[in-house]
Structure 1
């Protein structure tokens, strides 16, 4: 568990530690704001959306430990390349390589049931889930301190040390699993999935700068949607699908994916807009503080993620996952409403965001638990990979939507963006409550043939 936790922690830290460094990287590598943003956020987001379901499927087929080790090796190599990047092009390529790190989450979640007793599985899943959200906030503080007092390259030094430690501990302590090597590959499905996700995420990335109704954005969006439609049709007919569509469309699993998308939307809107309000000059409606202060504003909320996840693990073991999912999304919506209403001082931002931290911990712990209780263990990594991608896409929607709303006016756009987040969170909570159909601690049954969802 320590080895898995360290791998998850390395992902959580590198996910947001570079966010305060966008301006520093832009100046240090003599590039524009768009290229710097691609290096920090867009490149790893796009590559992770493509690589994670592939790595998850490989983990189910060939063994999660084996694939996790290769993921960590690739992650470490990309981190070292980023540390030594001589120009922005190399840095963007290295950050795209770091996108493979997202696959650590489904592989680690899928491994927990095989290394812990049944009564401790939910607690283990809650621990790993809490680390994802908690590490993100701590990373903002650490990233701010490093870029305020040293070179941005030290961010990758810290990341490389964590990844190397996770690699060594995983090799030494995580037990091997056999997987299910029978079955072929799915190159057509993989290509369609990559094209679909890339098209939609690129549309969300370039929308604020090119205009949401520009031809380029609509071509990317419609092309991505068409590719995903084709992917669904191919997967239903494939003998060895990359993703069994039952893992997407079956209601108990689909509810988990919806909750992940909603959480990602609210969470990343918070990650993008609160630092922007804190760091922007007073003349534009911000507070004019440093990146370290922005990280400190977000720290109280993120420190609550881990204990909330631990609490959710106990609730899930006794009552099932519907309550933490519903309450967590509702708390995230309440926090967004509080931020929309009260945001005149940095301390008010820190206080109003506390429900978002608690809600994040509850939902992040409940997501893998919901999958664990409804999906065959042989497909757990694949299902968790889909769930992780749902949260990633939600994060892309939230960050780009938030950036678009505040594009012309930070003062007016900030509350408008969080009222949108409130509606998204509340709608997600209502849908989860009405549609999850959680039955507590039912014994699960494995269905025959290719149907891998437990009813």
Structure 2
């Protein structure tokens, strides 16, 4: 069956997609603004929930070491469903699926805000994760609706947002948690989405582009389940034992299903994605870059919070002394003076500011977000002039340099903030250029699923990076050696505090993976001419 798109242009449009070539600048940028505001829901929650994870933990004591699944399940489900939803958008309409994603996000916010069950909370996070696909759909809407010359800029702005997730989220999230509770985050996200939802409904036109084919349910299921099983193994492998058959069978099953997906799609008359296109160097190279660049993105977001929210060594020692005094007094009924308790750390650690979430936001996160937002727009505009490859190369060089400097410099907040500024520039440039490269490489009717595959690879990079970083941390705990008077010392691990070496290993890891991404981008043959907004197709 032909995959030629239908043409259902809005009245008065000369383009089958309904492109806003004749519209005023105010109309064009209103549409772009609303699209961007709606796509902000996913990064908004990620910024807020990641920073508040330590505050969420006490509400779910059964979660234990699995608390990071509040973040991981978002990336896992988002990665699994993004290609599927992207394909649905190609077939049934991008605006329609845009709103469907928003509806799932609203349900997830309500569930997370009201439940006291860890399992139900994770289910709510899974519903929220579907909103990751809003970025995939937004790229297609911008490609279809904006005048061609504005598409690269629009993609750059969409990739890094208008400041809500970058600037407002850290400050607002910190204020909500510090003054109310972590549940207030989900109520805010619910209200935000509820306000933006009708703006999309009434102000954003539907693209007239459709792909004339049925949804390949078998291919979609093979891809989604296969990716999901691999990501589960990556996250849980350390707890289960990487080499245990009961653990690696998850990965083997995932790889088998992904391989089956490729085999089935090669034979399918209406594949979810053209396999020749998927393995075309113009697409596959960008996917490789997305996978290895994702390591840096995931590890950076994870480590910055821990390095600054952790109490400094002296404060932790005071807490251990007081806890020991309280415990011994309760057991013996005799008061114990604090000076009788001697506490040393094995090993010691040099980081830790003991910040609140608000302090983290105002001292570090807001500056990273500001430069990322500006860099994304500039990189999109620059791609239109010189092609997306050059700004991508500069972003990846900066990833490598900042990772090395994070490993070598003192882990004090001034250094972390200074280094987060070039990282933010690179972050914005990377997320502006990668989707622009995909747009230039694929026909419009394959836009949604292709961008979805990029999302899969980026999410896998984030998940694998986090899993390896977590393994480094768990292998290098800080232990408290406590001696009370003449009694022999007792040694115990301090929950959530790890040796400097653990973080440094993580930064060296992402320096290496960023080098791999850099080499792939350097060898890239496309993206060397000005971005056209997909007009080559």
Aligned counterpart in structure 1 of residue 172 of structure 2, from 125, 134, 142? 142
Q: Residues 439 and 533 of structure 2 are in contact (CA less than 8 Å); yes or no, is this contact kept in structure 1?
A: no
Aligned counterpart in structure 1 of residue 102 of structure 2, from 72, 87, 92? 72
For 2:186 and 2:534, locate their aligned partners in 1 and report how far apart those are by CA, in whole Å. 45
For 1:344 and 1:439, locate their aligned partners in 2 and report how far apart those are by CA, in whole Å. 38
Q: Residues 255 and 436 of structure 1 are in contact (CA less than 8 Å); yes or no, is this contact kept in structure 2?
A: no
Task: Name the counterpart of 1:402.
Answer: 469
Task: Name the counterpart of 1:121.
Answer: 151
In the alignment, structure 1 residue 12 sits paired with structure 2 residue 43: yes
CA shift at 1:71, angstroms?
Answer: 1.3
SS in 1 for 2:157: helix
Range moving further from structure 2, 78-87 or 206-215: 206-215
Count of paired positions? 447
Q: Residues 390 and 528 of structure 2 are in contact (CA less than 8 Å); yes or no, is this contact kept in structure 1?
A: no
In the alignment, structure 1 residue 289 sits paired with structure 2 residue 350: no
In the alignment, structure 1 residue 321 sits paired with structure 2 residue 388: yes
Q: 1:137/1:262 Cα in 2 relative to 1: closer, same or farther (>3 Å)? A: farther
Which whole-Å deviations, capped at 9, do the CAs of 1:352-404 have from their partners, x for residues lacking one? 22221111111111112111212111221111111112111111111111111
Aligned counterpart in structure 1 of residue 84 of structure 2, from 54, 59, 67? 54
Task: Name the counterpart of 1:360.
Answer: 427
Larger helix share, 1 or 2: 1
CA shift at 1:329, angstroms?
Answer: 1.0
SS in 2 for 1:212: coil
Larger strand share, 1 or 2: 2
Task: Name the counterpart of 1:418.
Answer: 507
For 1:28-427, list aligned pairs within 5 A.
28-38=59-69, 40-131=70-161, 135=165, 139-180=169-210, 182-283=212-313, 285=349, 286-292=351-357, 293-295=359-361, 296-409=363-476, 410-427=499-516
Scaled by the length of structure 2, the TM-score of the pair is 0.79
Which whole-Å deviations, capped at 9, do the CAs of 1:239-261 have from their partners, x for residues lacking one? 11122223421111122222222
Larger Rg: 2
Q: Residues 17 and 136 of structure 1 are in contact (CA less than 8 Å); yes or no, is this contact kept in structure 2?
A: no
Which whole-Å deviations, capped at 9, do the CAs of 1:8-44 have from their partners, x for residues lacking one? 1111101231123223222124433234322x21222
Structure 1 gap ranges (5+): 447-452
Structure 2 gap ranges (5+): 1-31, 314-347, 477-498
For 1:169 and 1:342, locate their aligned partners in 2 and report how far apart those are by CA, in whole Å. 46
In the alignment, structure 1 residue 21 sits paired with structure 2 residue 88: no
For 2:457 and 2:112, locate their aligned partners in 1 and report how far apart those are by CA, in whole Å. 27
Which whole-Å deviations, capped at 9, do the CAs of 1:416-452 have from their partners, x for residues lacking one? 2111111111221122111233340387999xxxxxx
Task: Name the counterpart of 1:449.
Answer: none
For 1:133 and 1:221, locate their aligned partners in 2 and report how far apart those are by CA, in whole Å. 38
For 1:401 and 1:132, locate their aligned partners in 2 and report how far apart those are by CA, in whole Å. 32
Which whole-Å deviations, capped at 9, do the CAs of 1:164-222 have from their partners, x for residues lacking one? 12211110111112342521222221221122111110011112322333333311111
Task: Name the counterpart of 1:450.
Answer: none
Q: 1:388/1:190 Cα in 2 relative to 1: closer, same or farther (>3 Å)? A: same
SS in 1 for 2:161: helix
For 1:155 and 1:316, locate their aligned partners in 2 and report how far apart those are by CA, in whole Å. 36
SS in 2 for 1:353: helix
Which whole-Å deviations, capped at 9, do the CAs of 1:267-315 have from their partners, x for residues lacking one? 1101111211222343462415134233432332222111111111221
In the alignment, structure 1 residue 435 sits paired with structure 2 residue 502: no
Scaled by the length of structure 1, the TM-score of the pair is 0.92
Q: Residues 329 and 363 of structure 1 are in contact (CA less than 8 Å); yes or no, is this contact kept in structure 2?
A: yes
Q: Residues 166 and 370 of structure 2 are in contact (CA less than 8 Å); yes or no, is this contact kept in structure 1?
A: no
Q: Residues 444 and 534 of structure 2 are in contact (CA less than 8 Å); yes or no, is this contact kept in structure 1?
A: no
Q: Residues 4 and 166 of structure 1 are in contact (CA less than 8 Å); yes or no, is this contact kept in structure 2?
A: no
SS in 1 for 2:62: coil
Q: Residues 386 and 531 of structure 2 are in contact (CA less than 8 Å); yes or no, is this contact kept in structure 1?
A: no
Q: 1:72/1:344 Cα in 2 relative to 1: closer, same or farther (>3 Å)? A: closer
CA shift at 1:119, angstroms?
Answer: 1.3
Q: Residues 296 and 514 of structure 2 are in contact (CA less than 8 Å); yes or no, is this contact kept in structure 1?
A: yes
